Amino acid sequence: MSNSNSSTTTPIDVAIIGGGQSALAVAYFLRRAGIRYVVLDDQPAPGGAWQMHGIRFASFLLPSGVHCRAG
């Protein structure tokens, strides 16, 4: 029996569940390492609590050493 689904699939190495800040940081470093990944989330936009709770004043340190404020 043949498979009638003609779509192609792309193999992945890691599935990241959730699209919050930690998940986005993991995705960043996986991409830098050349590891194939997918981020799965039920929200329409990434960012987790920043999006859900309207947090506009969170500050963070980027991997490049640049300190910035969200929003």
Residue written as token pair 């490049």: 64
pTM of the model: 0.59
pLDDT tens, position by position, 14-50? 999 998 888 989 999 999 999 999 999 988 877 776 6
2 or 60: which leads in pLDDT:
60
- Per-residue pLDDT reduced to its tens digit, 50-70: 665 555 545 555 565 555 554
Q: What's the pLDDT score for residue 71?
A: 46
Please report the sign of the dihedral spanned by the C-alpha atoms of residue 3, residue 8, residue 13, residue 14. negative
Q: Which residue in 59, 49, 53 sits closest to 24, CA to CA?
A: 49
Contacting residues for 6 by C-beta, under 8 A, at least 6 apart: none
